[in-house]
Amino acid sequence: MAADIFGLMRDLLREEWKVLAKGKPPDIEPGNHCTKPFTCEFYNFCNKLLPVDHVTNLPGITPKSLEELTRQGIQSIFTAWCARRMVMTMARTC
């Protein structure tokens, strides 16, 4: 059991050293993973360009919804609201 944990830790640390040895950070968009289960030490570095009304600030947003909005290139709550209104309006008129 202890050997398994040490083996797992050794493998995880090897992977982390490989990532740290790269010249640039991984190409991963900031999201809920930045604060859960704890706030990442690079949070301010990665998240400084986010708008005040970024969709991650939506109360109760699920990771799946956040992923979908990110996939659509929607970062702003206002933009998400406008897009949703437009879809609802089009659905009513068609």
- Using the contact rule CB under 6 A, the part of the chain among 1-9, 35-43, 65-73, 78-86 near ligand SF4 is 35-43
Q: How far is the CB of 47 from ligand SF4 (least distance, A)?
A: 6
Alpha carbon separation from 22 to 8, 11, 67 (Å, rounded): 22, 17, 26
Q: How far is the CB of 85 from ligand SF4 (least distance, A)?
A: 30
- Using the contact rule CB under 6 A, the part of the chain among 1-9, 30-38, 49-57, 78-86 near ligand SF4 is 30-38
Which of 7, 9, 11, 42 is close enough to bind ligand SF4 by CB under 6 A?
A: 42
30 binds ligand SF4 (CB under 6 A): yes
Question: Do 67 and 29 form a contact (C-beta atoms < 8 A)?
Answer: no
Q: How far is the CB of 56 from ligand SF4 (least distance, A)?
A: 10
What is the C-alpha to C-alpha distance for residues 55 and 64, in angstroms, rounded to an integer?
12
* DSSP 8-state secondary structure symbol assigned to residue 18: H
- Identity of residue 64: K
Instruction: Name the 3-class secondary structure at 30.
Output: coil
